[in-house]
Structure 1
Amino acid sequence: MSCQESQDACCSPACRTKAAYFFGALVVILLGVGINAMLKSYTETGAQAAREARAKERAKAQAEIRQTTAQELGTAAVLDKAKGIHRIPVTAAMELTLKEYQANAAASRTAFVARVEKFTAPPPKAPEKPSAFE
Structure 2
Amino acid sequence: MKVQMDIRDGSLRLGIFKTIPVKQVIIAVEFSEEEKAAITKLGLADHIFYSHPINSRDTDGLRIQEDTHYHIKVGRLLKPLGGTMIPSYDSQAEAQQAIQELTEQFKLLKQKLKAADAPTSTTLDL
TM-score, structure 1 normalization = 0.24
Instruction: Indicate the structure whose relative CO is greater, using CA pairs within 8 Å and at least 6 residues apart.
Output: 2
Query: Higher strand share goes to which structure?
Result: 2
More helix, by proportion: 1
TM-score, scaled to structure 2: 0.25
Name which one, 1 or 2, has greater alpha-carbon Rg: 1
